Amino acid sequence: MLRLLIGGAMGVLLAACGGGEHIDDDLNAYVESVKARPAGKIEPLPNLEAFERFQYAAGNLGDPFKPSITGKGMSASGKKGAGGQPDMSRERGRLESFPLDSLRLVGSMMGPNGKFALIRTNQNEVFRVGVGEYLGQNYGKVLRIAEKKVELLELIPDGLGGWEEHPTTLEVNE
C-alpha cells in the first residue's frame, strides 16, 4: 500500500514539472527583445605612455641587511671596539634602569660641589645628577651640565663584540 502511495505521489510531481510550452514562450520573447535592441558603444582604451625602465646600479654596494665587515671582527671603520669598554664591575645607579628616552631634564642647580642636573623619570621621581654619573641603559656617562642641557656619552654594542661611542643630549622641554 505504501509503495502505491509513493508511486502516485512521484507521478503527480513529474507531471507538474512537465509544464508545457507556455512557460518557455515568455523566456523566448524576452531573449528576442534583448537581441533586437541596438548595440551600445564601447569607449576605446586610453593610450598608455611607455614605461621608462629604471636600472638599479647599487649592486656593488653589498647586501644592506648584513653588517659591512672588512676583516674578521672589524667594523666598517676598521676599528674593533673603538668606543672603549663599559666598566662592568661598577655598581649601576638607579637611573641606569630607565631607558634614556623616559628620562627628562627638568632643570639644573649649582651646589657646593659643582653643577647638578635635575632628572625626572617616567615615574615622576626627580634625581640630582652630577658630572661623571651615569644615565640610561646604554652606560650614558654625564660629560657636561649646562643650564638647559646635559651632554652624555653612551656606549652602544656594535654587534661585533665591540662598543661604539654615541654622544647624546638631554634638553629641557619648555
Report the CATH number at residue 102.
Answer: 2.30.30.830
**Other C-beta atoms lying within 10 Å of the C-beta of residue 118:** 16
End-to-end CA distance of the chain: 99
165 within domain boundaries: yes
Per-residue H/E/C for 3-48: HHHHHHHHHHHHHHHHCCCHHHHHHHHHHHHHHHCCCCCCCCCCCC
**Domain-embedded: residue 45:** no
In a domain, 71, yes or no: no
pLDDT for the residue 73: 46
Question: Looking at the whole model, is its pTM more than 0.85?
Answer: no
Domain-embedded: residue 136: yes
Cell matching residue 109: 642647580
Residue 174 C-alpha cell reads as 619648555
Residues 108-127: what's their mean pLDDT? 91
Please report whether residue 108 resides in a domain.
Answer: yes
Count how many domains the chain has: 1
Mean pLDDT, residues 33-38 taken together: 91
- The pLDDT tens digits for 87-112 are 888 899 999 999 999 999 999 998 88
3-state secondary structure of 165: strand
Given a cut of 70, is residue 76 above it in pLDDT? Answer: no
Amino acid at 67: P
- In the three-class reduction of DSSP (H, G, I as helix; E, B as strand; rest coil), residue 96 is classed as helix
**117 CB neighbour count, 10 Å cutoff:** 25
For residue 154, the enclosing domain spans 82-171
The answer as to whether 67 is a domain residue is: no
> Residues 124-143, buried b or exposed e (16+ Cβ, 10 A)?
eeebebebebbbbebbbbbe
Q: Is residue 44 part of a domain?
A: no
Average pLDDT over residues 155-169: 89
* Per-residue model confidence (pLDDT) at position 61: 78
pLDDT of residue 62: 76
Please report whether residue 100 resides in a domain.
yes
Per-residue pLDDT band for 153 (boundaries 50, 70, 90) equals very high
